[in-house]
A and B are shown apart, each in its own frame.
Chain A
Amino acid sequence: MSEKDTLCKKLFNAIVDGDSDAAREAVEKLLNLGVDAYSIVKECMIPAMKLVGDKFAKLEIFLPEVMMAAEAFEKCMKLIEPKILAEKKSELVVGKVVIGTIQGDIHDLGKNIVALMLRAAGFEVYDLGRDVPVAEFVKKAKEVDADIIAISALLSTSLPYVKDVIKLLKELNLRDKYILMVGGGAVTREWAKEVGADGYGENADEAVKVALELIEKKRKKK
């Protein structure tokens, strides 16, 4: 095994284990060896996050481990990003997602799981947290030029606020600019369709699957 392969394996394992320090160290060594930044991300880091997502889906690991892995991944990305050419950067990101639990709803565990699974699937995720005011979703989506706005609602009493986001997007002529996804305990497939959402996830697995499909569809349209 070459030194590059050994270090790549180390980086892979460090991300899976959520060991930020070891992951950063491996990245630095790889860069010093002259390994191309793009290939470090593509060959060592993304497969690690993919494995993390798969393990979580099978309940082999849990939310804290996924969060630690995502943190290690992001710390490495901060180090490596300036060294990747702009045109190559976009190849590494499946799409940009602005996600949050809607206004009036403080339940965010499910949303956190979806956000992490999207991250593991290669999305750049902007997590706004919980009880997010309607206008914040739109503001953030504009700011980061998002592909997807994903809204979670556990309570049926928070569903009207989800409709407000859609209304606001329409009023600002931005509805077609973003893919709109909804999910959470209170949301049904029928309701999602009724309010005109583009996608719905019954659970985190489905949310990621639908997000990937919708992004691909959007890319093909372009």
Chain B
Amino acid sequence: MLSFYDILKRSEEGKYMEEREFDLKVVAKNARRLVKEYDIRFNREEIVTSDDSLADDVWKAGFELALETGIYCVSTRRIIKFTEEEIKEGLRSAPSQLIVGEGRDARLLYARKIEDQRPPIIMGGQAGAPIPEEFYYHMALSYMQEPLIDTINHGGLHKIKGIEVRTGSPAEALATILELRYLREAAKAAGRPGIHLLAAESSNTCIGDLAVQNPEGLRKTDAHLIAILNDLKTDYDRLTKAFTFKIYGGFNVALVDPVIGGFLGGPEGVAIGFIASYLLSRLIYYADYYIIHPIHPKYVSTSSLETMWVLNIVGQAMARHTNFILMGDVWTSNGAGSYEIFYEITANTITNVVTGSHPLGVSATNGKYPNASGLETRFMAEVAHAAVKFKRSDANELVKTFLKKYYPERMEKPNYGKPFPELYDMETIQPRKWWLELYNKAKKEVADYGIPLE
């Protein structure tokens, strides 16, 4: 693998280019050409495809995109490029399994295969959401106490002790320290002190990540996110996060979240952009595992038709050609407390589990409101465990059936549900009766479609 110094050097000595030129003449042009060359086509009827050759084409096109495009460093306006051998070395050295967490709470996080019958690792929490400090701990506990949830990725704090957290301010450090403190306390209270945390969500810059690189904050068995900026870009801040955490000894997680309709183009271009981003993030971030998070230009959610197709094909392409460990996001338009959220979770989770990724969620309301709880993530976990029995063709039919129940009407006008304190009893941290009844009703409905939840 290339050293930090090699990467830094390339970010400062690579080819200089204006960003607009990189967007249009490099990314857009190459992505469009490769989609055409490999004849990659988005198929609305095959959200979960059984076509292996399509996955192979997406893989090949994505590999070429990584090789030809490289990654743009916004801070220096230079392109970091890699040779084919270097990219292949990144592939060879990627871990196919990791022990995450500690003691009896440790889990084996592994690279899933297509139609993999092993139980997936469930990562729970309302990732990406700003959570009010007054119920951050309680909400975190609602996930930690769910036995089916193996690991945690919860939201961040946007206000601490009444002070708004501003990007680049010392509050980012303080908020991230507090976030980890609440998460640790919740883990202890749930009797799972060693549970794996993917955290430091309260800070956008590297300030927060640097502040929690210690055993009271993020342990060496924990992880933090480093985003690939859209599309195929990075900057000094993200490289700092990557280098320092790797030196510390923790796990780097590459977050890839391109918008469909952006410079990469439609779902097909975004799919190959994912592959390229993973290959490049392995090299520049030393990523240990990876998040698949396609963004819909209108609904944001990963549960839309287009975004699920991307989840499906990226998962399959990666599973067929790499040992990369993938977490597929479950971001819903509807919120906890609504009935519709269960439909979105069902379709999205089946798609992820059958096509090579572990489910991560539920980030209800796309992380806009703290309208989420452990209960709908329990539902996600149950669907995930049931989905390991499905073949891709069966999964496709089920996903289409559930999609029809919310797409597009309930994404156009979602039911945002209710905030956590209205969903759970704040003293017992148990779901309120009406919310539990809604969950049981959804379980029954899903079982009627041949998805028995245990």
Contacts and interface: CB of A to CB of B under 8 A. Distances in A.
Contacts of B259: 109-110, 113
Contact of B28 (A64, A105, A109, A205): A64
Interface string A190-219: 000000000000011100000000000000
A185 B300 contact: yes
Contact of B269 (A62, A185, A188): A62
Interface residues of B, number: 39
Contacts, number: 86
B74 A106 contact: yes
Nearest to B130: A156
Nearest to B208: A157
A203 B298 CA distance: 6
Contacts of A56: 261
Given A59-B261, A59-B297, A113-B261, A157 B167 contact: yes
A64 B263 contact: yes
Nearest to A205: B298
A62 B28 CA distance: 10
Interface stretch (B2-10, B158-166, B421-429): B158-166
Q: Is the interface of B mostly helix, strand, loop or mixed?
A: loop
Contacts of A157: 158, 165-167, 172, 202-204
B298 A155 contact: no
A186 interface: yes
Interface string B44-85: 000000000000000000000000000000100000000000
Nearest to B259: A109
A63 interface: yes
Interface in A134-188: 155-161, 185-186, 188
A104 interface: yes
Query: Which among B167, B230, B366, B369 has the highest number of chain A CB atoms within 10 Å?
Result: B167
B166 A160 contact: yes
Contacts of A156: 130, 156, 158, 165
A160 B168 CA distance: 12
B189 interface: no
B23 interface: yes
Nearest to B129: A156
Given A63-B262, A64-B23, A106 B130 contact: no
Nearest to B269: A62
| Majority secondary structure, A binding face | helix
Interface in B220-273: 229-231, 235, 259-266, 269
Contacts of A109: 230-231, 259, 262-263
A31 interface: no
B24 interface: yes
A59 to B, nearest CB: 6
A128 interface: no
Interface residues of A, number: 28
A67 B24 contact: yes
Contacts of A64: 23-24, 28, 32, 263, 265
A157 B160 CA distance: 12
A101 to B, nearest CB: 11
Contacts of A103: 167
A56 B69 CA distance: 25
Contact of A106 (B203, B229, B297): B229
A186 B165 CA distance: 13
Contacts of A59: 260-261, 266, 297, 306
A185 B296 CA distance: 12
A62 B268 CA distance: 12
Interface in B185-232: 202-204, 229-231
A188 B369 contact: yes
Interface of B: 23-24, 28, 32, 74, 130, 156, 158, 164-168, 172, 202-204, 229-231, 235, 259-266, 269, 297-300, 306, 366-369
State the 5 A-B residue pairs at the shortest beta-carbon distance, nearest first. Answer: A104-B167, A64-B28, A156-B130, A156-B158, A160-B164
Interface of A: 56, 59, 62-64, 67-68, 103-107, 109-110, 113, 155-161, 185-186, 188, 203-205
30 contacts: A59-B260, A59-B297, A62-B264, A63-B262, A64-B23, A68-B24, A103-B167, A104-B166, A104-B204, A105-B167, A105-B204, A106-B235, A107-B230, A109-B231, A109-B259, A109-B262, A109-B263, A155-B204, A156-B156, A157-B166, A157-B203, A160-B164, A185-B366, A185-B368, A188-B368, A188-B369, A203-B297, A203-B299, A204-B297, A205-B298
